[in-house]
Structure 1
């Protein structure tokens, strides 16, 4: 598969503060890539470089097979960007907000209606945008970004504030776009979500990529295969070496499972900091 996004040894400073420090990664066509890091880690700077809004100090950035510095207005039509800062008309209805973009991209109203129904918004389509809940706005912004089935899709916290049922519906739509060859670059603070839907991830901290690869491969790398967690009927849990498991059998054991790390615990292990959006 061709590389749709690639950074090679990119560095970016703002005054004397280094926002990105020699970062490199690539994202292939049809891949769901998770770019994970707390606020201030460098995620927005990276996206702005890839979309031609910023120029890096060192290194090279490529998108859609060309240098990010050289992307044109026509190239931007092949990119979907989930944003709440532009093109949101509070006095217009939810439907009119999206119909404007559908017409701009020559997308049929049938496609728009299908997306509204898939994300449980169709019944609220006549509500004024200013009266929408945070979750409704989130889904509106997502639909706007994916209406034209772009080649590359940038999503910032696509399921933030959504309940598990709606989050799953968003995931189903992303998997469908992936099947169509859309490359999805997403940021999320939900490590479980990243583990579930991403083909590859990069853990970003203070402008550095501290881990990169398939989520399960990273988890396996840091998991201790020689220890297991034993849970008892009274709710107590203990961690013991595998060879000691036999000593606890028959003692009201409810479950025994291997000790597997999570992306969040790995992040804490590598940085000494909790993974938060603070």
Structure 2
């Protein structure tokens, strides 16, 4: 459905690329995660894909139509949630959604229904400038859904949210997938990516360094390990063994045969651990 080929972007015009030779495809109904730290190029790619940044080099195609030639039908069928909320601060939450809804030539979702779903019903008539950071983030997310979009672009949708509210937003993202929406998710939140994404791409310094399903990335790059708790000298001790390592395998078997075992748990690497392994840096 979405095909990005050999994408480059140079803000200063000095061949110092913020995005360099980025390629990927997204299937209809898929949640595709762009995982990387701040400044890695995630938002730049999203802004090019949504027409906010001019396409300099490469191709972005929707159903074989270039982003260069899309018209109003395209914009009527996408929703965008930005990491940094861009709201009309003197309008209420309800007025923000109502005004935005008027820009579309498609059926819209009732703003009050969306405000209730993201937990802002009681603040509907409060000016957006008086909202907290988390409330603004929820309002921007609700705004992205107002036109019931076929394609949804989400940039750090859980930023500034408490765990309970974040879980509510995560479930709404999964609902949109079940309804058939295609979702491009940019984030450094590896827990969100692991829970909702069909596939993820790791981007670092403007380049994609790995791309696959979260499970396949773990199988390919993660080290298989087990944590063993055992009793020794009237105390419970714990050791971790990497079973691909011959020495660890020997010690593990020896421990099993000689100690009083309390628990054994298999462990797998997280996406963040794999990202650090591939890049030498964290996701934040």
TM-score, structure 1 length as denominator?
A: 0.88
- Between Structure 1 and Structure 2, whose CA radius of gyration is higher? 2
The 3 A distance-change label for structure 1 pair 248 and 13 is: same
CA contact (8 A) 1:159 1:170 kept: yes
CA contact (8 A) 1:33 1:186 kept: yes
Shift of 1:48: 2.3
Shift of 1:260: 1.1
* Aligned counterpart for 1:274 among listed residues 260, 269, 282: 282
CA contact (8 A) 2:34 2:201 kept: yes
Q: 1: CA distance between counterparts of 2:159 and 2:136?
A: 11
Aligned to 2:173: 174
Q: 2: CA distance between counterparts of 1:101 and 1:21?
A: 34
The 3 A distance-change label for structure 1 pair 232 and 80 is: farther
The 3 A distance-change label for structure 1 pair 102 and 52 is: closer
Structure 2 residue runs of 5 or longer lacking an equivalent are 242-247
Aligned to 2:227: 229
Shift of 1:98: 1.3
The 3 A distance-change label for structure 1 pair 236 and 156 is: farther
2:157 match: secondary structure: coil
Runs of 4+ in 1 over 6 A off after TM superposition: none
1:26 match: secondary structure: strand
RMSD between superposed Cα atoms in Å: 2.3
State the aligned residue count.
270
1:273 match: secondary structure: coil
Q: Write out aligned runs for 1:1-278 (5 A).
A: 3=1, 5-14=2-11, 15-83=14-82, 84=84, 86=86, 88-105=87-104, 107=107, 111-225=110-224, 227-231=225-229, 237-240=238-241, 241-249=248-256, 251=259, 253-276=261-284
Moved more, 182-191 or 233-242: 233-242
Structure 1 residue runs of 5 or longer lacking an equivalent are none
